[in-house]
Amino acid sequence: MIEKFEQTIKNEVTELFDTLDYQALNDGKTMILTSEKEGGRVHVTGIGKPSYVSGYIASLLSSTGTPAYFLDGTEAVHGSSGQVKAGDVVIAISNSGETEELLYTIRTVRANGAKIIGVSKSRGSSLSQLSDVCLCTSTKEEGDDLNKPPRASIIKQTLLLQSLSILLQNERKLSPSDYVAWHPGGAIGESLGA
């Protein structure tokens, strides 16, 4: 069983990087930078397990020069969408791209003037259709006999958005001193001479 999981993850990750859509990643980077220049902010959302990816990506972006906020995917339609203003960018994560609660949230923030970067497994998904930029994972196998519990899809979502974070970090020319200023505590701060 573990051997099947290992091989599936290797295959899925290789497929992700072999077919990486650099144009879409650069479009997402440009959208975020343009929004920031106009006073906009970045929000990251998802439902279920992708919500944990959302929290991590918001934290990663913030720590590398792109302030980002976690947007609860279900609370957004009960008032939390008030944190999203016209011109902001919302990164929305869903493997199927068909999760009703997330689609409801995306329709809400779009109506409020936000731009959407959608992350799902297919360009044909409802989330992709609602998005200004589509980042697709094309996940086929999760790594077990059920092929339902999200394993490979979560890894691919994370890697895809980490790639976006690298483009943004490089655009900002993040220096070690910048990074130390945001990470003065713990092992990171110590390793950088804080």
Q: In the chain, where are the structural domains located?
A: 2-191
On whether the 2-191 domain is CATH 3.40.718.10, my answer is no
Q: State the pLDDT at residue 160.
A: 98
Rounded to a whole number of angstroms, the distance between the first and last alpha carbons of the chain is 45
**What is the reported pLDDT for 55?**
98
Tally helices (H) and strands (E) across the chain. 8, 5
Burial per residue of 131-157, b for 16 or more beta-carbon CB atoms within 10 angstroms, e otherwise: bebbbbbebebbbeeeeeebbbbbbbb
In this predicted structure, what is the pLDDT of residue 124? 97
Write the pLDDT tens digit of every residue in 116-125: 999 999 999 9
**What's the number of CA atoms in the CB half-sphere (13 Å) around residue 11?**
12
pLDDT tens track, the chain, 194 positions: 899 999 999 999 999 999 999 999 999 999 999 999 999 999 999 999 999 999 999 999 999 999 999 999 999 999 999 999 999 999 999 999 999 999 999 999 999 999 999 999 999 999 999 999 999 999 999 999 999 999 999 999 999 999 999 999 999 998 888 887 888 877 777 776 54
Q: How far apart are CA 159 and CA 133, in angstroms?
A: 17
